[in-house]
Structure 1
Amino acid sequence: MLRRRRSRLVNLTFAALVLLAVFLFLRSRSSRPRYVPSGFDWTQAPVFHPPGPIKPLPDGEPRPLPSVQAPLSAFTNPSEPDPRRDAVLQTFKRSYEAYKTYAWGHDELAPVTRQGRDPSGGYGATLMETLDTLWIMGLKSEFYEAAAFAAAVDFTKPNAGAVGLFETTVRNLAGLLSAYDLSAEEALLHKATDLGNMLYIAFDTPNRLPGFWLNWQEAWKGDQKAGTNEASSLSTSLCLEFTRLSQLTGDPKYYDATDRITRFLERMKPQSKLQGMWPTTIDYQNEYVWGDTFSLGAGADSLYEYLPKMFALLGGLDPTYETLYRGAADTASKFLLFRPMLPDGQDILFAGDARVVSDAIEVHPEFQHLTCFAGGMFGLGGKLFGISEHLDIGERLARGCAWAYTQFPTGLMPERFTLLPCGSRSGCAWDENRWLQEGNKKLNKGWGYIRDSRYNLRPEAIESVFLLYRMTGKEEYRDLAWEMWQGIMKSTRSDIAHCGIRDVTESGKPAKSDDMESFWLAATLKYFYLIFSPPDLIHLDEFVFNTRGHPFRRPV
C-alpha cells in the first residue's frame, strides 16, 4: 500500500512538473517579440543612382586567427564573478528603471528634469541600445519587454525629417543586430533588416558615397549627395554593422555599400599629407582628401577602430584591413602618441593631434576622452597581427586613461586636455622649470590646460581597460576599473539615475548636466559589468564590439 502511494505521488509530481514546463514554454513563446513592419517598405523606394554589380561577401572558410583573449590560466578565479559586479548591476537597474519610468520609447532620458528627449530621430535609441546589455546581465524579463517594443518601431520617417546616418547605424542598427546575435530572436533580425533597408537609401548618390544626413525629401527627389567637408569617420564607420547585416541575412547589398567606402580609402591613400592616415575631414563628393589635421579623436576615431575589427568579423578573408591598419597604426604611433612628463615618471601614453604645414609636421599634445578607445584598438591589432609592440602600446594607453581619472577631485577625466609631453616615448626626467613656465599651476604637476572640463558618462576609458584585462588576464586592470567606478559613482549620481558633469575639477558636489546619453546603459555599464564577470561571458575570440559597445558574433 505504501509503495502504491509513493508511486502515485511520484506520478503526480512528474505530471505537475510536465504541466509547469509546458506552461513556462507557452508563456515564453507568447512573450517573445513579434515583428511589425514599418509603414513603408524601403526596398520599394525609387533608386536614382543604381549601384551596378553587387560585390559578394568574401568567399571561403574563415581563417584560424590568433587568439585575442588571454588563456583561462592567465585569469585569477576565472569561474567566479567578482563581488564588485553586483554594484554595477544595481546601478544599471536603477538607471534603466528611471528610463522606463520617465522616458520609455524615447531616445534618451533627461534625468534632472525627468523627461524623455528625441535627439536621434525618435526611434528609441536608449531602448534599442540597451537590449544586449539586458541579455548579458541576465535580465530576461526586461529584455523581452524591450524587445517587443523594438520589434514594432516604425522606421517610416524621423521626427525631424532626417536622421544622422552614422549615429542611427552604430546605435539602433547595431543594437538590434547584437540583440539578435545573443538571443536568436528572429523578430529582431527582421527589424534590423527593416532599418538597414531604410539606411541603405542614404547610399543613393551619384558616386554611391553617403552624406551625413539621410534626408527624406532629398532621397525622394534623388537630390542626395555626399558631403564636401565631412568627418572622415562618418562613412567609414558603417562597415561593421552593414557587413554583419549581410552575414545574417545573406543579402550582400549592405556589405557592398560599405565596401565601396573601403575601396575609396584605398584609392585616397596617396593623396594624404600624412601617409598611412586620413585627415579628420574629407571631400566625399569630389573624392578628394585635402585636410591637413590628423587625429585618433573626434571625427576620425572609429575609422581606425574598425580596421582590425573588420578583419576579425570577415574571418581574415580580406587582407585589406590588415594593410590599412598597419599603415595607420604605425603612423599614429610615430607622430601622435606621446608620454607625459610627470614627477613620478609613470610609463603611460596619450594620443595627440598632428598638423601638416608645408613639409613640416606639427604635433599638438591635446587628448580627448573619445581617444581612449585607442588602447583597445592597438591591443586588438597587436593580438590579431602578432605585433607585440602594439599590445604594449595598448596597455600604456589604457593605463593612461585610468590614471587621468585619478587626477581630479571628482575622480573623473575631462573631455579634452593637454599634458606636457616628453620628447620621446621612452620618457624624460622631470623638469620643474619647464613645468613652471608651461604648466597649469591650478592642476597637478604635468598638466597643461583643460579645453573641455565636462564628463558625460563616456565608455571609451573603461572599454580599453576591459579589453586589455581580457587580452592579458592582468588583475591590475580590474583594480583600475574599480577606482574609476568609485569616482563615477561619487560624482554622477542624481535623484533617479546618473548625469553628466559640467566640470571635473570642482570639489564637493559638482554641477550636473541634464543628460544621460544612451551609451551609459549600452556601453559604459556593460563594460564595467563584463570586467567583473567570468571571462567566458562575451569571449573576445567569439565576439567583436562595435564602436558603441555592441558585440557581434565572429565567424569562427
Structure 2
Amino acid sequence: MAFLRFRRYRVYVFAAVFFLFLVFRLSSNSQLNAHHTTIYKGYSAPPDGESSAGRGSSSSSSHDSARGNFGAGTPAQDAPPSLGSPDVSAPKVPAEKEPEEVAAPAPQSMHIPQLHTSLEIKGSYGLPTGPRSQKPTAPQQTDVAASAPKEDDAFDSNRVHQVNPPATHQETAVPVVADATAKAKPILSTSVIHWMKMAEHFPIPEESLILLPTGSPMPIPKIQHKFAAEPDATREIRESRLASVRGEMQHAWSGYRTYAWTHDELAPVSKGFRDPFCGWAASLVDALDTLWIMGMHDEFDEAYEAVKDIDFTTTPFRSEIPVFETIIRYLGGLIAAYDVSGGEKGKYPALLSKAVELAEILMGVFDTPNRMPILYYHWKPAFYSQPKTASSSVSVAELGSMSMEFTRLAQLTGHSKYYDAIARITDAFEDWQNRVNGTAIAGIFPEHVDASGCNRTAAAIQEAENASKLAKAQVAAANDIESEPVGYKPSQPNSDPMVAQDKVAIAKTMPPDLEFRVNSATKPGEPATGEFRKVDDVASASVGKRDVGDAVSMGTAPKDATAQVAVAPDVGKTPSGSKIMTGSGVQHANKPVSAPIAANGKVAKFDCIPQNLTAGGYGMQTYSMGGSQDSTYEYFPKAMHEKVVDAVKKYLLYRPLIKDDRDILFSAKVSSRDGTDKDMSYNYEITHLTCFLGGMFAMGGRIFNRPEDVEIGGKLADGCVWAYEAMPMGIMPEGSIITPCANMTNCSWNQTAWYEKLDPNIAWRTKQLLDYEERMKTWAKERDEIEELQRARAEELERERQATAKEALANEPSSPADEVGLAPGPETPVGTANIGKRAVGGADKTPVTAADTVAINEKEKVLQGDLDLNADAAAVPKAAAPAKKPLPELVIPPMPVRPETHEEFVQNRIERDNLVPGFVSMNDRRYILRPEAIESVWYMYRITGDPSWQEKGWRMFQAVIHATRTEYGHSAIADVLTDPKDEPVQVDNMESFWFAETLKYFYLLFATPDVISLDDYVLNTEAHPFKRPT
C-alpha cells in the first residue's frame, strides 16, 4: 500500500526535490548580501584597532550606531582611545595595510541572467548579480559617478528632465566596489540613496558664463600694523598664554576624537555626539586649518585620512542640505586647509579634490530660473530631479555668504562656473543697492529677501484681470437673445445603472431615426415636456448653441455669433506680450520655450512675471547687522562696502548708557513700518553675532583709507569687551537689550533714564496710585458707615433680647407643677406631686429661672422645626406669627491693594531678572562658545598693534574656559548671569566653530604677527583663511 501511495505522489515528490535544488543553486549565486555603502568609504579606525564612536570600519554598524540625531558610545567599543593629557599629542595613525586580493569564485554551471539596475530602468529596483568576494578585507566604497547618467534614460529630446519620483520605499542604487581599482564588475547596493549629477533644467551657455577676472590683482594697502621686536618678558607672557590656548585645543580635540570621531559635534558632558550637518564630520573638517596653524600636524594627518573617506553624495541624517552652513564649514574648511598646508606644493591633494566633489553637489542649488540658490537643497534624485525656484523668503546672510568659497575654488581649479554662480548673486545685490528707493535704509538690506524672481503680486493682478475678461465674455454669451439657452450637459455618462438600463430599453423600442428630447417648461411652475424627433431635426436645431468646445471642434460656429467664450491658453505656450526668464536670466518676449517638466509629467509653470531681488516676508522690514545679515556685508567690494558702513553709521550705531565713561558703540535693530526711513522703530540690542562689526569696520577703514572707520571699529570691539566684563561670569550673553544714550558725545550715567526704560508705563502707574488713593477714601467711608450700622444693630438686638427675657419671666409659672401642667388635687396621693422630677441622690431639684425658661423655649422651637420637616407644606399653623424680614448682612469690603510705585517696580524687576546697570532685558542668557567678540579683538590688535587688546582677550579667554571646560571638552552654558561662586549650567553642546573660530582667534591673538597675516590671507565668516592671490 505504501508503495502504491508513493507511486501516486511520486511526481510531486520529484518536483519538490527539484525545486529545493534550484533554490539552493540560486542562493549560492545570489549577491543580495552585499555590504551596504556607507558615508565613510574604507574608513580605518584610530590607533589600537578600536572603532570610532558609531563609525566603525564595518559598514553594517555605521547606520545602526548613528541612526538617531544623538547617540553615545563607550570608549572601549565605539571610540578611539583617549589621548590622555591635553599636552600629549595624538599618536600617528599606523599606515593602512593594502587590501588582500581575493580570488574570484569559480564559475557556476547555472547561468543567472543579469538584471537591469535601477539606474538603467526608471521606477524599478536593481538587484546585484555580480560575483561577490567571500572574505572582503577592506570596507566597500561608494563609487561616485563622475558623469551624468545616460541622456536617453534621464532626458527627453528637448533635454528636459522627465523622471517621476520613485515609489515610497524605492532607493537609488549606486555602484559599490571593493577598492578604487575594481570597477569592471560593480556591486550594486539598494540600501543607500546617493546624489547623482544630472543635466540642469536652466543651464547657462558656456559663452554666457561670467568669467573669473584674470591678470595681476590690484594692489591693496597694508592692513597689519608693523610690529617691532618685543622684549623678552613680553614674549614669555605671550608664549605662556599661547601654550594655554593650544592646550585647550588639544583637550577639546581629544574629547572629540575619543567620543565623536567623524561625527559632526561632540556632546562634551554626556560623552556622546550629534550630527546636525549631515553627519559629514563637521567638527573634523572645520578644525583642519586650526590643527595646522597650532602645529598639531599628527592630528592633522589623522584627520586628513578620515576626510578622504567622507561621502558627500549621501547622508542618513537629513533629507535636505543646509547650504549656508555646508559652504562655510565644509567647503571653506577644505579649501583653507589646502591653502595653509601648502596648496599645490603641499602633500594633501585630497583636500582640494574633496572640495571639488562637494562643490559639484552644491552647484545644483543654482539651477533655478534666475540662478538664485535654493538654500535648503533636497539632494535625493527623486526631489532635485524636478525644477525648482528659489525661496520667496531667505535671509541676507545665507544668500550672500558664498562668494569667498566659490571664488577661491574657481581660482584654484580654473573653472569659471564656480565664480559665475556667486557673481550673479553679487550683481543682484548691487542692482538692489543702487535701485532708487530700493530699501528703506539705502545701502543695506532687510533681513528677509524674496529671491524667487517671480512677482507674484503682479501675476495675481494679471490673473484677476484675465478672470474678469473671461467672466465678461461668459455674461455676454449668456445674454445673447438670438441663441437658444442650453441646459446642463454632464461631461461623463450617467453613473446610475438604472438610468443606463432605461436608455437601453428606450433605444430598443424607438425607431432608429427618432430621438426622445426633453423640452424645458415654457412658464415657471409648469412641468417640462418631451417629444420624439427625427435625428436630422435634432442636429439642425442644435446649430448655433453656445456649447463650449463642441462648436469650435466641429467647425460649426455660428456666423452671427457676437461673443465667444474665452478659453484658457494651453500649458506651455507663451501668452502674447509676456516675458519668460530663461536659465541665463535673459528676458525673451514672445518666444516659445521648452519649459521644464514637473513630477506629474506636465509642463511646469515658470512663465511668471520676472523681478529682481526685493524685500520678502510680510509686515515691517527689519534692518540690522545681526545673525540674519552679518556675513554678507563682510564680503562686499569697495563701493558696496562704503554704502553699507555709511548707512550703519547714520541709522544703526548708538552709544549705550553705562556707569563709567567708556566710549563704546553697538549696532541697533531698526524696523520700517512703511518701507521708508520716515517711520522707523528702534530696538537697542546687544547680540554676540553683531560683534563681528568692529573687525569689519577696522579692516575696511584700513583698506579703503577711512581712518574714522578704524576708530569706530575699535569702539564697537571695545563695546563687546565691556559686555563680557559687565556680566557676573565675565561672558556676554547671546542677546540682550540696553538703554541708549540720548547724546553720542556726552553720555553720563542717568539712573532716571534707565528706570524709565525698565518701566515705560510710569504715567499709567502714577494714575493707578491716584486711583488707589481715591479708592482708599471711598473704602474708609464705607467702613465707617458699616461699623456704625453694626453698632446700631447690636444695640437693637440687645434690646430685643432683654424684652424677650422679660416677657418670658412674666409668663413663668408660679410653681413647678404649673410648669409641667400637673395640679395636685384631693385624688393625688401625698408625695406624688413632684412625680417625674427625679432628684439626683434624693436631693430636691433646683428651681428653674427665667433665663433657663427662655433657652428651653428656644430649643423647643428648633426641635419642633426639625421634627416637622416632613409635614405637609400646605399646613399652616393656627397661630402663625408674621415672619420678620431678614436684616441685610453688614460686611466691610476688602481693603484695596496698593499698586507698586515706579521705584518699587523697577527694584523688584532688577532683583528678579538679576539685571546689570544699564540693561533692560536679557533675551538670551546663553553662551554657546561664539567667536565674534574675540574675532574683532584680534582684528583690532593686528591692525593697530595696541597690546591692550591682548590683555582684554586674555581676560575673555580665562572667563570662557572657567565657565565652559568639562572633562572631555568645552560646553555651552545656559546663563551668564550665574553667580561665579556657583557651578554654571552646562548644556552639553560644543559646536564645530569652537575649533574653527573661537580657539583659532584666541591662538592667533598671542601668535606672532606673521602667522596668518592679514596681508597674506583673507578669512571667511567661519574664520577659514584663504590665500590671497599674488
TM-score between the two structures when normalised by the length of structure 1: 0.89
Q: 2:708 aligns with which of 389, 392, 403?
A: 389
Greater CA radius of gyration, 1 or 2?
2
- Residues 148-167 of structure 1: CA distance to partner in whole angstroms, max 9, x if unpaired? 11122111122222210100
- The aligned amino acid for 2:211 is P
Counterpart in the other structure of 2:449: 282
- The aligned amino acid for 1:297 is G
**Contact 2:929–2:998 (CA under 8 A) maintained in structure 1:** yes
- The aligned amino acid for 1:386 is N
Task: Report 1 or 2 for greater relative contact order, CA contacts < 8 Å, sequence distance ≥ 6.
Answer: 1
User: Does 2:275 correspond to 1:118?
Assistant: yes
Partners of 1:85 and 1:273 in 2: how far apart?
A: 46
Counterpart in the other structure of 1:67: 222
Relative distance call for 1:414 and 1:75 in structure 2 (3 A) is: farther
**Contact 1:456–1:500 (CA under 8 A) maintained in structure 2:** yes
Percentage of matched positions with identical amino acids: 40
Residue 75 (structure 1) shift: 6.7
Counterpart in the other structure of 1:177: 335
Q: 2:326 aligns with which of 156, 159, 168?
A: 168
- The aligned amino acid for 1:209 is M
User: Does 2:732 correspond to 1:403?
Assistant: no
Q: 1:203 aligns with which of 356, 362, 366?
A: 366
- Residues 102-127 of structure 1: CA distance to partner in whole angstroms, max 9, x if unpaired? 00000111112211211001111100
Residue 29 (structure 1) shift: 13
- Long gaps (5+) in structure 1: 1-26, 308-320
Residue 86 (structure 1) shift: 0.8
Counterpart in the other structure of 2:390: 226
Partners of 2:95 and 2:255 in 1: how far apart?
A: 26
Partners of 1:272 and 1:37 in 2: how far apart?
A: 48
Instruction: Between 380-389 and 424-433, report the one with greater CA deviation.
Output: 424-433
Counterpart in the other structure of 1:339: 655
**Contact 2:428–2:613 (CA under 8 A) maintained in structure 1:** no
Q: Secondary structure at the match of 2:726?
A: coil
Residue 513 (structure 1) shift: 0.6
Partners of 1:107 and 1:389 in 2: how far apart?
A: 42
For 1:530-541, list aligned pairs within 5 A: 530-541=1004-1015
Counterpart in the other structure of 1:128: 285
Counterpart in the other structure of 1:544: 1018
Relative distance call for 1:219 and 1:240 in structure 2 (3 A) is: farther
**Contact 2:93–2:302 (CA under 8 A) maintained in structure 1:** no
**Contact 1:39–1:155 (CA under 8 A) maintained in structure 2:** no
Counterpart in the other structure of 1:469: 941
**Contact 2:323–2:376 (CA under 8 A) maintained in structure 1:** yes
Counterpart in the other structure of 1:300: 629
Counterpart in the other structure of 2:919: 447
Relative distance call for 1:360 and 1:197 in structure 2 (3 A) is: same
Relative distance call for 1:427 and 1:415 in structure 2 (3 A) is: farther
Counterpart in the other structure of 1:106: 263
Relative distance call for 1:436 and 1:512 in structure 2 (3 A) is: same
Counterpart in the other structure of 2:524: none
**Contact 1:166–1:234 (CA under 8 A) maintained in structure 2:** yes
**Contact 2:331–2:405 (CA under 8 A) maintained in structure 1:** yes
Partners of 1:255 and 1:534 in 2: how far apart?
A: 34
Instruction: Between 450-459 and 362-371, report the one with greater CA deviation.
Output: 362-371
User: Does 2:209 correspond to 1:54?
Assistant: yes
User: Does 2:989 correspond to 1:515?
Assistant: yes
- Residues 196-249 of structure 1: CA distance to partner in whole angstroms, max 9, x if unpaired? 111111111111111221112465323332110111111210001010100111
- Residues 358-388 of structure 1: CA distance to partner in whole angstroms, max 9, x if unpaired? 3223222112100111111101110110001
Instruction: Between 44-53 and 245-254, report the one with greater CA deviation.
Output: 44-53
TM-score between the two structures when normalised by the length of structure 2: 0.49
- The aligned amino acid for 2:407 is T
Residue 436 (structure 1) shift: 2.4
Q: Secondary structure at the match of 1:73?
A: coil
Q: Secondary structure at the match of 2:239?
A: coil
Counterpart in the other structure of 1:478: 950
User: Does 2:961 correspond to 1:489?
Assistant: yes
- The aligned amino acid for 1:514 is D
User: Does 2:245 correspond to 1:88?
Assistant: yes
Q: Secondary structure at the match of 2:717?
A: helix
Residue 30 (structure 1) shift: 7.0
Partners of 1:486 and 1:110 in 2: how far apart?
A: 22
- Residues 272-292 of structure 1: CA distance to partner in whole angstroms, max 9, x if unpaired? 121100101000003342251
Q: Secondary structure at the match of 2:240?
A: coil
Residue 531 (structure 1) shift: 0.4
- Long gaps (5+) in structure 2: 1-91, 97-140, 149-196, 454-611, 759-908
Aligned-residue Cα RMSD (Å) equals: 2.0
- Residues 62-118 of structure 1: CA distance to partner in whole angstroms, max 9, x if unpaired? 111111110123977797753111111111101000000000000111112211211
Q: 1:146 aligns with which of 303, 311, 314?
A: 303
- The aligned amino acid for 2:226 is P
Q: Secondary structure at the match of 1:83?
A: helix
**Contact 2:198–2:385 (CA under 8 A) maintained in structure 1:** no
Relative distance call for 1:250 and 1:384 in structure 2 (3 A) is: same
The runs of 4+ residues in structure 1 deviating greater than 4 Å are 27-31, 74-81
